[in-house]
Amino acid sequence: MTHPAEGTAETGDHGPGGRHGGLTAAEVDRRVARGEVNDVPVRSSRSTREIVRANVFTRFNGIIGVMFAIILVVGPIQDGLFGLVIVANTLIGIVQELRAKRTLDGLALIGEARPQVRRDGAGQTVATSGIVLGDTVLLAIGDKVVVDGSVTEADGLEIDESLLTGEPDPVLKRPGDQVMSGSFVVAGSGAFTATRVGREAYAAQLAEEASRFTLVRSELRTGIDQILRFITFLLVPTAVGLVISQLAVEGRDWQEAVRRMVAGIVPMVPEGLVLLTSVAFAIGVVRLGRRRCLVQELPAIEGLARVDTVCLDKTGTLTEGGMDLVELRPLSDGRATDDDRQVLREVLAALGAADARPNASMQAVIDACGPPPDGRRPVLAAMPFSSARKWSAARLADPAGGEASWLLGAPDVLLPSGHAALGEADTLGARGLRVLLLGRSAVPLDAPDPAAGLEPAALVVLQQRLRPDASETLRYFEDQRVRAKVISGDAAVSVGAVATHLGLPGAEQPVDARTLPAHGSPEFADLADRTSVFGRVTPQQKRELVAALQSRGHTVAMTGDGVNDVLALKDADIGVAMGTGSDATRAVAQIVLLDDSFATLPSVVAEGRRVIGNIERVANLFLVKTVYSVLLALLVICTHVPYPFLPRHSTVLSTLTIGVPAFFLALAPNNERARTGFVRRVLRLAVPGGVIAGTACFTAYMLARLDTSTGLEADTSVATLTLFLVAMWVLAIVARPYTWWRLLLIAAMGGAFALVLLVPWLSDFFELHLVGLRGPLTGVLIAAVAGVLLEVTWRIVVLRTEPPEDGGEGFAGAPAG
């Protein structure tokens, strides 16, 4: 795609001072026709074909499909109902994921980076895919480099390439230097000519992979996969033994033997668990999408459920982006005159005009001071704001013919310790105001230290706009036992004042990050763990604080909107970026709040907890069924008796005690923070429950067989009744704590089974006929004993797990709404 000769032939005209005029419209059209366009197909979700394939061609769908085909051969059709259930479940999974795909694709289009290019001598915004070879791409602070290129213009341009090279220090770029896609601007401005676009760009493959829909690498999915692999290992020998035993028992009635073999194998497969996991994640994406929240990676939903610490950047998160200049306080020894104030305003206006991409503080200065007077204080040189320096500067000529460097930035950075103006600045900062120092220096900007010999001229007092929903959101986190920490580059006293005003616990004792102990020391981790507010934090320190919290076992979410947040966002367990933040933050974050609403975070955390907590809840239902199915098959093989069920009976049991209830329970509210150890915790509950259920069912079945006056159908009916009652007891335990709709769900499932037994055509269809009183009463008594054992076992398991945070009797300590 790259043609070096052509890349330099059509370069457009250079404007005044070497400024590149960019390509013409005709040149762009020719390059698009030649395919020299940035056409990397970055997708936010899987294709429709991949979705269908992933939901249809699964290991267990294959097993169930073979069993269904066998039943179609041996009949009757009512024994093949499980096949129709699998078809319906697969369709539900496909439909839900297609809904999630539409949501993701639409939101990704909204949140996509829109770089600026210069064409026909004028700047214009284009889609990333609209950049062509040779385009002049404009850069400003916070912009992401979307294609590879060669720098043509640079005004203090500093590029952070840490996401590509791992080198944390920004790289100063000059005309002729190369820039790589995937890096981002941390200071200054400039432009570059695109030399490699599309798949040839350095980070094209990384970018495509990072923003693609993933279904999910996480403890939850890994745990489910481990369980399924173990079940597959058990399935084959058990099925072989079951086939042999049923053929031996049934003798010449091979069709009955095959039906009962199928009935033994199908319940072993927890096919609905995989489906419900996919559906729950997909519905979570759709729900969050409706709240203008883009989930760029599905594992983020699980990560949110595990978050116990949220690190917040003050600016853009607790406060709105806009600021107001409330006071310009001169620092002259004598009384400041109106002329002195006018000079200060002219200087501030010139500094604002010299900044190509002003931040919120500079924008407030520009709004208050307006444009500089024509010709009075021309800009001779300028240095844009850098989060590392914490100041910006311009070399101005004054009307008297002299010149001076004027610096605007943090007072505690520009002034020596103990300076009188620092006390005044701290007093203002303690009120939640942002204070900048305007100072004058005779030192040129290209000197090693332009701030040397700085003469303080004035304090520029700015007021930030607090988000109206910030206080309520912080209270939500406190109620949910999620610790919030404010980590900001602003002065510690100022950040502490804002956080105190919003009611953040511990905000009264902010810590200046410049006084932190050495990174990696126990003291550093202790301070990071117990402190709520940090000020004067550098980008590297934000990253170190996140690492320190993680070293103490915390699951950390980091929010931010500026380039100084990128490294911390990347290292946090969950990165949350604001939609109007820099391209770089949106690129590395797993979640993007497209409407910039901090109040969306509680919904995001709650959705993650709902998904993961409920998946663990319903996993117990599916795995109890798997355990008792395997146990029944082994008991049947050892005792050489007919398998107690036909496939139609397994369908009734699975649908009423697992399938339908699990679907509703998986979508219910759940605020319990997820914990590690999913497999161990689920098996600790499912194995004893399955053993008790299987033993009770087989005991009732064998006792029923002792009554020679009844046939196999009556014995099967007793076994079905017993297993249904025990499985309903399991459902009643898993559904705790009870709400009206949970009780209604349990009652509805019981009522449905009663209809199957009492309505003649249904009992004939499913071959369920209870004969006499002895067998059914025996089954009910055995189920009652099994229920008591379940209660005892469950309570022992619950007592060995973490107690419920609300003091209730939640399932495995998991309260639910």
Find tokens 């064409």 and name the residue.
Answer: 119
Backbone angles phi, psi at 400, to 5 degrees: -80, -5
Torsion, Cα 41 42 44 45, to 10 degrees, reads 40
CA distance 13 to 118: 11
Q: Which residue, 138, 411, 93, 132, is CA-closest to 280?
A: 93
Query: Is 159 in contact with 186 (CB distance < 8 Å)?
Result: yes
Query: Is 473 in contact with 602 (CB distance < 8 Å)?
Result: yes
Cα–Cα distances in Å, from 632 out to 297, 618, 636, 694, 710? 41, 22, 6, 6, 21
For the purposes of burial, counting CB atoms within 10 Å of the CB of 321, is it exposed (0-12), middle (13-18) or buried (19 or more)? Answer: middle
Q: Residues 6 or more apart from 56 whose CB is under 8 A from it?
A: 90, 94
For the purposes of burial, counting CB atoms within 10 Å of the CB of 426, is it exposed (0-12), middle (13-18) or buried (19 or more)? Answer: middle
CA distance 149 to 197: 9
- The strand pairing partners of 395, in sequence order, are 381, 405
Backbone angles phi, psi at 405, to 5 degrees: -95, 130
Establish whether 313 is a catalytic residue: yes
Q: Which two tokens stand for residue 343?
A: 């000079």
According to DSSP, residue 23 is labeled B
Find tokens 């069924």 and name the residue.
Answer: 625
Catalytic residue among 135, 143, 313, 565: 313
Q: Which two tokens stand for residue 590?
A: 């797993």
Q: Residues 6 or more apart from 37 whose CB is under 8 A from it?
A: 31, 129, 130, 131, 132, 133, 197, 198
CA distance 742 to 750: 13
Q: At what angle do helices 271-290 and 219-250 cross, to 10 degrees?
A: 150
Q: Residues 6 or more apart from 109 whose CB is under 8 A from it?
A: none
Q: How many CB atoms lie within 10 A of CB 73?
A: 8
Q: Residues 6 or more apart from 253 whose CB is under 8 A from it?
A: none
The residues annotated as belonging to the active site are: 313
